[in-house]
């Protein structure tokens, strides 16, 4: 009974804290500009099924894709066993599903054990890639410090959780007669001989320690997620659902600019027909200086990024030694958003500080290195769009601050005056055709 | 063969005619000496098969692409507004262009601003004409030549057209080679996003050198391109490695015009 109460308290506390974190992140995401993205629903569901559930872009890098799939499948399916563990904890039962499932039960548990071993193996491979073979993209500049530690934490925690599960089952499998149990199981049964000669009492204590360790570990891990890149296991699904569906080359046309241009260019437009400016309304901004100028989708992207660095490894600017890393764009956006979120928690919704995303997190040099080639968005396994953030920050630099590089300002002047990015007379546009008929 | 006059939309309209397709030449195609050769090649091909086309001439302006990618949305929309007025004024329905940047902007960004056209890249139009039997490509001069194709970002990833350029090259009876990174994984030439008009940011090498090196590993006779900026960047890259005598950089239109002796 005491165990049941302790379990219910632990579960309640973990759920409470997790819901609180989710609310915080949700609030932060919706600090972004509104953006309607509920069109073409059937396409979006299909995309989510393919890209998020089916991992279609993950497997484009077969090694990482394969081992990631093992962890993904393990995570999804072992949750069925976690459900049993939670019910056992609340009801004070032991292996609640074994009676109704009968002879099928050991097969199911055996299957989960195979998955647990696969997850374990994948985590070891990932630790190896990260720390021993040192895959370049996993060890770039922006990964120093917390991001690298976070990644290692996740892998180690998953290894510990899987070990707890296997040792728990192995201990039970070694129970001496007459203690009835559905064990031994497929994998842990092979480990049971380690415990030969142990008394029932010792085995039972070990089994309980692993049981508690496993479930408390899961509850703790659950509450680690919202502070970690590992939160992608939840956000990958919505973020893919809200993917950009237009061709990658289509950049958004700023609505605010559209109105201004219409007023300026259309001889029939009546400037006085425009609604009287609302004194309380925020002045219209062109582009983004800080996270609250970005759309909620861009902020959702930032929280969904798991820092795999495929974007950066495909980025032509990064490959040629430039400062730009699309992954860092996502990480900076998230880190700044977290900072703003904390400020709002402490000082209320009007929170302001001396910092902003543009300049304090992302430098102009990074922004100007982008060739807008879309290699990053193509590479991202969950369709994140760092390019749109780069463009919104460039828009602020150019339209709010007039801080384009001098050569780009010259290009703008040419486009405006000559209708071409170079200094040629518009009258000479058709000259090639004259040359053609003369040749 | 090359002695013909390209009509402008204004001239056609004065005669009460309208062409099957508007040839959107673009700034590079109009003013850059290298790109002008591509423009002329495409004009010759279209003329040789009797396709009715016209240009805007001095009424054409920059689509605004480099301004938009550089963050100057104002300038982009101003250019778009003007161009759409001109295009709609002539009732243009169908546009072909040899510049993937113009192609992308006209196709994807103009509709929301009131410009609804069927826009094709020249590789797509030529492939279509080929399929319809209107265009024939003589393999002769390129038979057995080693040709690789550099995917332009704004044709490939941006608009998912990977096959039309390759279908054209196939017709040359050439040996088609693929770079390690091609199609959706193709490496940028380094000119997109308005980089063409500025110095590269500090780094340890130039993007176009990296890409040219990758292409040159195949020891190609020709690096085929489908974009005036890629053309410039790849040509510079090939020169950087002093391979311009072995490897030439040619646009798809130039390949076909040469093959067909135009």
What is the pLDDT, as a whole number, of residue A244? Answer: 97
Interface A:B, Cβ pairs < 8 A: 234
What is the residue whose two structure tokens read 């379990």? A7
Reduced to 3 states, what is the DSSP secondary structure of residue A196? coil
Phi-psi region of A224 (alpha: psi -120 to 50; beta: other; left: phi over 0): alpha
CATH class for domain B137-259? alpha beta
The residues in A 220-249 lying below 8 A from B, measured between CB atoms, are 246-249
By Cβ distance, the residue of A264, A368, A436 closest to B201 is A368
Q: What is the mean pLDDT of chain B?
A: 96
CB A433 within 8 A of CB A423: no
User: Do B108 and A422 make contact, defined as CB atoms within 8 angstroms?
Assistant: no
Residue of A32, A51, A33 lying closest to A43 (CA atoms): A51
What's the burial of A140, exposed, middle or buried (CB within 10 Å: 0-12/13-18/19+)? middle
- Tell me the backbone φ, ψ of residue B96, rounded to 5 degrees: -120, 145
CA distance A330 to A239: 13
Q: Quick: pLDDT tens for A311-367.
A: 999 999 999 999 999 999 999 999 999 999 999 999 999 999 999 999 999 999 999
- To the question of domain B9-128 being in CATH 3.40.430.10, the answer is no
Please report, for chain B, the start and end positions of each structural domain, with discontinuous segments joined by +: 9-128, 137-259
Residues whose CB is less than 8 angstroms from the CB of residue B184 and which lie 6 or more positions away in sequence, other chains included = A378, B156, B157, B160, B162
pLDDT digits (tens, 9 = 90+) for A28-48: 999 999 999 999 999 999 999
Statement: residue A259 has pLDDT above 80: yes
**Number of neighbouring beta carbons within 10 Å of residue A347:** 11
* Shortest CA gap A276–chain B (Å): 22
pLDDT reported for residue A281: 64
Give the model's confidence band at A285: pLDDT under 50 very low, under 70 low, under 90 confident, else very high.
Answer: confident
Per residue in B177-214, pLDDT tens? 999 999 999 999 999 999 999 999 999 999 999 999 99
Distances (CA, A) of A270 to A222, A258, B44: 57, 15, 47
A279 pLDDT higher than 70: no
- Residue-wise pLDDT for A382-406, tens only, equals 999 999 999 999 999 999 999 999 9
> Residue B11, preceding bond cis, omega within 30 degrees?
no
Q: What is the pLDDT of residues A78-110, one digit of tens each?
A: 889 999 999 999 999 999 999 999 999 999 999
How big, in percent rounded to 5, are the helix, strand and coil portions of chain A? 70, 0, 30
Query: Taking the mean position of all CA atoms in its chain, how far away is CA A188?
Result: 34
- Per-residue pLDDT at A277 exceeds 60: no
Residue A280 has what pLDDT? Answer: 60
Smallest CA-to-CA distance from B231 within B201, B261, B191 is with: B191
In this complex, is the C-beta atom of A293 within 8 Å of any C-beta atom belonging to chain B?
no
C-alpha distance from A81 to closest chain B C-alpha (Å): 41
Exposed (0-12), middle (13-18) or buried (19+): which is B255, by Cβ within 10 Å? buried
- Quick one: CA torsion of B79, B85, B87, B89, rounded to 10 degrees? -160
- What pLDDT sits at residue A264? 85
Q: Is the pLDDT of residue A8 over 60?
A: yes
Residues A370, B254: Cα–Cα separation, whole Å: 30
Q: Is the ipTM of this complex over 0.85?
A: yes
Under 8 Å CB-to-CB from A372, ≥6 apart: which residues?
A: A387, A390, A391, B69, B153, B192, B193
């Amino acid at each position: 009974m005491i165990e049941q109460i302790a379990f219910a308290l632990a579960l309640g506390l973990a759920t409470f804290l997790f819901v609180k974190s989710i609310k915080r992140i949700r609030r932060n995401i919706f600090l972004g500009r509104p953006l309607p993205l509920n069109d073409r629903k059937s396409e979006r569901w299909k995309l989510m099924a393919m890209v998020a559930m089916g991992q279609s872009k993950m497997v484009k890098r077969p090694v990482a894709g394969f081992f990631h799939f093992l962890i993904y499948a393990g995570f999804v399916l072992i949750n069925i066993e976690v459900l049993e563990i939670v019910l056992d904890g609340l009801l004070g039962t032991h292996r609640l599903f074994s009676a109704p499932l009968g002879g099928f039960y050991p097969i199911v548990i055996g299957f989960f054990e195979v998955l647990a071993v696969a997850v374990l193996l994948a985590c070891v491979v990932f630790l190896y890639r990260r720390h021993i073979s040192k895959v370049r993209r996993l060890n770039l500049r922006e990964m120093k410090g917390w991001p690298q530690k976070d990644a290692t934490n996740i892998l180690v925690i998953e290894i510990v959780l899987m070990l707890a599960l296997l040792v728990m089952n192995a201990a039970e499998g070694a129970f001496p007669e007459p203690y009835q149990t559905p064990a031994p199981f497929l994998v842990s049964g092979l480990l049971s001989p380690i415990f030969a000669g142990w008394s029932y009492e010792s085995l039972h204590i070990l089994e309980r320690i692993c049981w508690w360790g496993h479930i408390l570990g899961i509850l703790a891990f659950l509450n680690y997620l919202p502070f970690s890149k590992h939160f992608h296991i939840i956000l990958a699904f919505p973020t893919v659902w809200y993917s950009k569906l237009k061709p990658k080359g289509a950049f958004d046309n700023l609505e605010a600019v559209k109105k201004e241009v219409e007023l300026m260019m259309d001889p029939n437009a009546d400037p006085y027909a425009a609604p009287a400016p609302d004194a309380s309304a925020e002045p219209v901004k062109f582009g983004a200086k800080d996270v609250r100028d970005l759309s909620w989708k861009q902020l959702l992207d930032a929280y969904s990024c798991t820092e795999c660095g495929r974007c950066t490894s495909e980025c032509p600017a990064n490959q040629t030694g430039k400062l730009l890393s699309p992954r860092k764009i996502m990480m900076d956006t998230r880190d700044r958003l977290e900072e703003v979120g904390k400020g709002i928690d402490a000082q209320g919704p009007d929170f302001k500080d001396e910092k902003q995303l543009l300049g304090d997190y992302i430098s102009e040099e990074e922004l100007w290195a982008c060739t807008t080639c879309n290699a990053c968005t193509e590479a991202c396994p969950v369709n994140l769009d760092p390019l749109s953030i780069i463009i919104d920050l460039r828009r602020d630099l150019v339209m709010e601050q007039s801080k384009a590089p001098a050569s780009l300002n010259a290009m703008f002047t040419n486009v405006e005056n000559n209708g071409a990015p170079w200094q040629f007379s518009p009258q000479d546009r058709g000259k090639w055709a004259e040359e053609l008929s003369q040749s | 063969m090359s002695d013909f006059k390209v009509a402008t939309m204004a001239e056609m309209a004065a005669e009460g005619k309208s062409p099957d397709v508007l040839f959107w030449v673009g700034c590079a195609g109009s003013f850059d000496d290298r790109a002008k050769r591509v423009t002329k090649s495409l004009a010759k091909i279209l003329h040789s098969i009797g396709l009715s086309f016209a240009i805007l001439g001095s009424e054409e302006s920059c689509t605004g692409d480099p301004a938009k990618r550089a963050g100057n949305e104002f300038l982009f929309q101003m250019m778009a507004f003007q161009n759409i007025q001109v295009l709609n004024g002539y009732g243009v329905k169908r546009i072909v262009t040899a510049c993937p940047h113009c192609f992308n902007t006209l196709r994807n960004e103009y509709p929301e601003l009131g410009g609804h056209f069927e826009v094709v890249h020249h590789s797509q139009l030529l492939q279509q004409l080929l399929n319809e039997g209107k265009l024939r490509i003589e393999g002769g001069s390129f038979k057995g030549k080693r040709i690789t194709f550099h995917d332009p970002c704004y044709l490939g990833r941006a608009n998912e057209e990977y096959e039309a350029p390759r279908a054209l090259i196939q017709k040359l009876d050439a040996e088609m080679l693929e770079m390690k990174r091609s199609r959706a994984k193709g490496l940028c030439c380094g000119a997109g996003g308005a980089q063409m008009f500025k110095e590269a940011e500090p780094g340890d090498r130039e993007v176009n050198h990296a890409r040219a090196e990758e292409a040159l590993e195949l020891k190609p006779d020709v690096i085929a391109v489908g974009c005036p900026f890629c053309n410039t960047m790849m040509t510079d890259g090939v020169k950087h490695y002093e391979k311009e005598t072995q490897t030439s950089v040619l646009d798809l239109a130039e390949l076909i015009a040469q093959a067909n002796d135009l």
